[in-house]
Structure 1
Amino acid sequence: MIGRLIRGRALRVAVCVALLPALAGCMQLNMGLIVKADDTVDGQLLLTAQKSLLTSGNRTVEAGFAELRQNIPALPPGEETRYEDAKLFGTQISYSNTPLDDFSSESVRLVREGDLYRFTLPLDPKKYGGKVAEQNPQNQQAFMRLMSFEISVSFPGRVLDSNGTVTGRSVSWKVGSNQEKPTELRAVAEAPPRP
């Protein structure tokens, strides 16, 4: 009896590990944020995956996405709605006058330090890949390598430093799947004086 349980668990882990690269290759994180002078944020975050891969193993897209989402670090809280088009399924999180304090999650950090705003999105493979990746550190790296990111952050002040593309007061990053990822996406911008 115990032998069957162990073999069953080993089979589930093997299946999950085998599916990880296929699922991760279609996982996308898109985010557009606007930081306002009153230290609040407006914008949206969209986390999606291809429907065809989410439904493998006769799962519903909802079940497949819920399982895959466990591999993503916590996202900043906001109004969450289902997102679906012909090929993609996921979740859209909307932010409206959201305090900066809400952007201190494992995945997105946006803080004010004196007269500066600091944005970071760590791309540490150890934070991605979740339960499946715990079985093998190489899966964490594969999961991260196969994800894609398209991020834009606009600030009320001048951008002082960034490893993204600066256009006026905005910074953007576009990192495709199967591309080398920086260790983090980061930007520093001037903050207006506090009232």
Structure 2
Amino acid sequence: MLGHIARRVLVGSAALGLLVATSGCLRLDLGLQVRPDDTVGGTFTAAWSEEFMESAADQGLDQSQLDAFLDALLDGVPGTERTPYDEDGFVGQTATFTDRPLADFADFGGDDWGYLRLEHTGREYGLEGHWDLRAAGFLDPAAFEDAEILLSVDFPARVTEHNGTLEGRTVTWTMTPGEEYDLNATAVENSGLAFLIAGAAFIVVVCALLWLWQSARLRRYSIGNHSS
């Protein structure tokens, strides 16, 4: 799917004839959610900044041409649900997909733009990727200065290593055209033994507290009897 997106960027860029250099003109946001049953859901958003849309209109580009570019990006993305996107000054569309096998993400890419691998082995989830956004055929940095390209992956386990930005169990990488990126993240599930140890420790603590509480009651009762 990621290679498909990169190729669609090329096709869409050529079709639009691009254009003017406007900072932050385009947002591409791919969000993946890895589930414990080894399926993947997610969204892919393609949106123009409102500032860019105004500049494009001044140069004679109408809304249908801008929409056609976003349609080229979203065409063929798994899933059929499309919803309007309007956030942070960006307007476009979001395609949603669900229940894709994790195995489909084991070896993505191989094109000039790079690759992404997402695997689950034992208790460990691993992500490894390389995106070369300098590659011919991706967004022209001169035309898409500071375009926002976001990749986020939500893991069903505790993230132990990553080179993105971590929030909870979600790692996000923020990229721009004209740069090269290596991506990596590791998430590890808790073992059953760890749960047993934690459960046993909890029982021990509760029993100790109950014993202390009972001992204190007995001491107070004994002191009360002696006093009488």
Alignment match, 2:185: 187
Alignment match, 1:48: 47
Shift of 1:36: 0.7
**Distance of 1:52 and 1:145 partners within structure 2:** 16
**Distance of 1:92 and 1:121 partners within structure 2:** 24
**Distance of 1:167 and 1:155 partners within structure 2:** 11
Residue correspondences, number: 165
* 93 and 38 in structure 1: CA distance in 2 versus 1, 3 angstrom threshold: same
Structure 2 residue runs of 5 or longer lacking an equivalent are: 1-13, 192-228
C-alpha root-mean-square deviation of aligned residues, in Å?
A: 4.0
Provide the TM-score with structure 2 as the length reference: 0.54
Structure 1 residue runs of 5 or longer lacking an equivalent are: 1-12, 130-139
**Distance of 1:25 and 1:165 partners within structure 2:** 20
**Distance of 1:78 and 1:121 partners within structure 2:** 25
2:138 maps to 1:128: yes
Identity of aligned residues (%): 24
* 34 and 16 in structure 1: CA distance in 2 versus 1, 3 angstrom threshold: same
Specify the SS of the correspondent of 2:142.
helix
**Distance of 2:182 and 2:84 partners within structure 1:** 26
Specify the SS of the correspondent of 1:183.
strand
Larger radius of gyration: 2
* 35 and 68 in structure 1: CA distance in 2 versus 1, 3 angstrom threshold: closer
**Distance of 1:100 and 1:150 partners within structure 2:** 20
Specify the SS of the correspondent of 1:62.
helix
Alignment map for 1:1-195 (pairs within 5 Å): 16=17, 19-22=19-22, 25-50=24-49, 51-55=53-57, 57-67=59-69, 76-85=77-86, 88-103=90-105, 104=108, 109-112=116-119, 114-115=121-122, 116-118=125-127, 120=129, 122-126=131-135, 127-129=137-139, 140-143=140-143, 145-175=145-175, 181-190=179-188
Shift of 1:183: 1.8
* 152 and 68 in structure 1: CA distance in 2 versus 1, 3 angstrom threshold: closer
